[in-house]
Amino acid sequence: MKLTFNCQQSGNCCKKYTGTIIASPGDIKRWHAAGRKDILAKVRIHKSNATTIIGGEFCEDPHSNAEQTQCPFVDMKKGKALCSIHDVKPDACKAFPYDKEGNIRSDVMNECDGIISV
C-alpha cells in the first residue's frame, strides 16, 4: 500500500500543529529579504547568540506565552482553509505531511483527511 497526499483544505494541520509550526533560519532570512514584516511580527525568533538566528515558531503574539488555537495565517473562506502567505509559507508547511525521507509522517497518518492510499 502506497500513501499519497492531496490537500483537502480542511485546516486541521493549521490548527493542530500550531505552536510547532517551525520557521527555519532560511525562512526568516527570506522574509527579512522580502520585507515581510507582517510575517515576522508573528514569529517568535530563536537565536543562539545576539545575532545568529537558529529558527523560530509561528504564534499570534511572539511576546506572549498564550497557547494558540491555529496558525495566524490561515483564513477560513467558504469552508476551506486558505494560507494567506502561501507564496512564501515556511519550509515546514511546504513539506507537510512528509518527513525528511519523503515518507508521510507517522504522527499524522491517521489524522489528516488528505492522506489516501493508492
C-alpha radius of gyration, the chain, whole number: 15
H or E element, residue 43: strand 43-47
- Contact (Cβ atoms closer than 8 angstroms) between residue 73 and residue 58: yes
The number of angstroms, rounded, from the C-alpha of 72 to the middle of its chain's C-alpha atoms is 10
Confidence label for 18 from pLDDT (cuts 50, 70 and 90) = low
User: Looking at 60-69, 85-94, 101-110, which range is the least confident one?
Assistant: 60-69
Q: Are 23 and 43 contacting, i.e. CB atoms less than 8 angstroms apart? A: yes
Q: Taking 80 as the threshold, does the pLDDT of residue 3 lie above it?
A: yes
| pLDDT, position 31 | 96
On average, the pLDDT of the chain sits at 86
How far is C-alpha 60 from the chain's CA centre?
Answer: 13
pLDDT band, residue 4 (cuts 50/70/90): confident
In this prediction, residue 83 carries a pLDDT of 92
Mean pLDDT of 105-117: 83
- Measured in whole angstroms, the distance separating CA 11 from the mean position of its chain's CA atoms is 11
Question: What's the pLDDT score for residue 19?
Answer: 59
User: Tell me, what's the pLDDT at 33?
Assistant: 96
The DSSP H or E segment spanning 41 is none
The band of 82, judged by pLDDT with boundaries at 50, 70 and 90, is very high
Nearest one of 43, 60, 57 to 92, comparing CA atoms: 57
Q: Report if pTM > 0.85.
A: no
Q: Any bridge partners for residue 45, and if so which? A: 56
